[in-house]
Every structure is written in structure tokens, then in C-alpha cells.
Amino acid sequence: MSSETLLLTSAHLLRPGAAAIQNCAVVVTDGVISWVGERGDLPAEFLTAQHLDLGELTLLPGLIDAHVHLSLGAEPAGDRAVSQADAVDDDAEFALMFRNARELVEAGVTTARDLGCRGYLALRVRDEISAGIAPGPRILAAGPPLTAPQGHCWFLGGEVNGAEEARTLVSAHIAAGVDVIKVMATGGFLTPGTTPWDASFETATLEAIVTESHRLGRRVAAHCHGIEGIRRALAAGVDTLEHCSFVEEGGAKAFDSDLADAIVASGAYVSPTMNADARQMMADGWQPPVVELWRRGARVIASTDAGIPGTPHGDYVLALESLVVAGMPDSEVLIAATVNAAEALDLAEVTGRIAVGYSADLIAVQGDPSLDIRVLNLLKFVMARGRIVRTVN
């Protein structure tokens, strides 16, 4: 028996979208799940493995946050990225990014997609975590988002003017090693001089970005608040619609049924970035479009925009709770945070499930989050790619 083999047992194994297993056993060998099933069926060869019994806890796949910004510190006042983009040196930025990565994994997030930072800083963070040098989740890094001149987050270094410049920067990003391409299809709330309801690019430019990205094996995430920007991003064939908040001229929010049906038909994933701001807006009477999109059949994934003002990286479960408050069933929210998110991030054969051959990304909690998502706050155990980050007291 390999010294790198660990036997985990618990009273309950939750598999989002599939049948649960009671009195379960999971065998992890060299960071990969090598056996899973009822404890009574455990093959004899694993009986002598190092054993960790999680008792009455519920074991389930590690969680996925499809939209974070490791380089932002969630300060409540102002826009840190605008005010300090040129003032913070790389060492200070890395220290913040590693701290945020640790907060994510300690909250049960074993995979996170960083959708925008200065330069290619997130690639170093990704690689050091992967090598076991620092604790954190699996990171997918986008580098500087593609944006129009002086467009949303222009200060991160991704300005392009037209389809040819966009294609060139996509190629450069991928040559540098990014995992995903991020494009700002509309303006944003946090960049002075831009508005979230205005489309930033013509459809032809977005199509060039998607075509080049897909040709080189990368998916495209589109920041899109405004209805016209959503429509153009969808027409261009982007893979995930970030925010997708249906903002109209002047900042009002309205639902567009025809556009919603087009989103469903396209198969694009909706990444609603639910967070504390969304929770407050719901308290003030706003109904997030994500719920109606889900009801119509859209594929929803869990995301937070962690790092923006008021959204710490450790507040991931609050985002899931917000989806439940908005009207999605707890079980569907859990699927959005595991199976759906893994598929959207092109990791469907890697994580998001507890199955043989999958990465050992596992968490354990008290209770059943498919019935009450809030029990994810009762986190007792975290394993990311076979490394134990947090264990039962």
C-alpha cells in the first residue's frame, strides 16, 4: 500500500445531482480519488491505508467560485484597483493574493477562476499553489481583461482597439499561459468614465476574441451588465456571461424575456456574481434575473466577484445563500457550485464530483447542504487536490 494513500470514511456522502451514499468510504491516492462507495464494500487492499474517520459529517465535492479577483482586497470604500494600480509593488500584491487564496480554500473553495489582475500576477500564484508552496484552491487565471480604450478596468493593461488588436492580445495572453480569456463586453460600476449599460465592443470584435480563444483551446468569460452588451456577447459565442444583470440605460434593471430565451438556447453559462451587494439589493426589492433564467433552463454557476468592495474572499457561502434567498432550491445551488461550475470552467473530468479518477477536492460539513445551504458554514474538513487544508478538531 502506497504511503500516499488515505482512506476517508463518513456517515454521509453527498453527490450533487446524483444519489447520496450512506456509511461511505473514499480512497485518495496521490491526490486522486481511487475508490468510492459504501464502507462495507471497501476492497481489502485499502484496509491497511492511513485512515481518517469523519464520523457523522457529510462529505461532498469541494466548492467552486467561478469569478474572483485575488489582487483586490475588498476594501469597503473606493476602488482599490483604480487608486492603487500603479502604486502597489508586485511583492505587496502577491502577499495579498496569497492571503486571499488562503481565505478561499479555508471557506471550502477548492477551485477558483481569477478573472482579472494586473499583468500576469495570478499565474505565479496559480503555479505556487499547484506546487504546494502555498495553500489555496486550484486557480484558473485570465490575466488582464481585454477592454476598450479607457474601458472598464483599463488600468490592468488589457486595452484593445478593434478586432486585430484583440486577436493579437488573446494570442499573447495564451502564450503567457493564461487558462481563460476575460473580455469586458460592457462598462462597469467601479471604473470612472464607464457605464455598465453601454456595450464596449462591436459584435465583430467579440467574435474575433472568441474565435481566436477557441482556436487556441481557451474559453471566454464576458463581463456584461447591460442588455446590449449581453446580446452582443451571446451572439459572439462567449462561454460564460459574467454578472448578466440586464442593466438598462441609466442603471435601471429590467428583464428581457427574448434575450433570456436566447441565453438558454445558446447553452452559455450564467455566472451571476451574487454577493453582499446582491443580498442588500434583494432586501430593497430587487429580483435578480438569474432565478428567472434558471427557471427557463439556463445553466447557472456559482460566483461572487470576490475582492470588489465589500466582498471578501472568505464570504463565498454568503453568495450561495443569496441564490437561495432569491429563489433557487438549495440542491440546485449546490449543483451550481460544483458540477455546473466544473463544466463551465472546462474541468468536468477533473473536479466537481466525487468519483474515481477525479481530483481529491473534498469538504465535510455538519448537516446536508442540499437541504439547507447554510450548513456549509459548519465546515470541518477541506482537502484540495489531496492536500488536507483543514481537518476535524
Q: Report domain extents, the chain.
A: 5-61+352-390, 63-344
As a whole number of angstroms, the distance between CA 310 and CA 181 comes to: 25
Beta bridge partners of 9: 25, 53
Predicted pLDDT of residue 84: 52
Of 236, 181, 178, 228, which Cα lies nearest the Cα of 207? 236
DSSP, res 358: S
**What is the four-CA torsion angle of 368, 315, 141, 231, rounded to 10 degrees?**
90
Global pTM reads: 0.96
As a whole number of angstroms, the distance between CA 161 and CA 165 comes to: 6
DSSP, res 374: G
Q: Is 67 helix (H, G, I), strand (E, B) or coil?
A: strand
φ, ψ at 156 (rounded to 5°): -85, -10
Terminal CA-to-CA distance of the chain, rounded, Å? 27
For 5-61+352-390, give the CATH class.
mainly beta
Beta bridge partners of 390: 382
Of 202, 208, 203, 207, which Cα lies nearest the Cα of 167? 208
CA distances from 65 to 25, 42, 209, 237 (A): 26, 33, 24, 22
| Average pLDDT, 10 consecutive residues per value, the chain (393 residues) | 82 96 98 98 96 98 98 67 60 95 98 96 98 97 98 96 98 98 96 95 98 98 98 98 94 92 98 90 90 98 96 96 96 98 98 98 98 97 96 78
Fold match flag (5-61+352-390 vs 63-344): no
As a whole number of angstroms, the distance between CA 72 and CA 266 comes to: 32
**CATH code assigned to 63-344:** 3.20.20.140
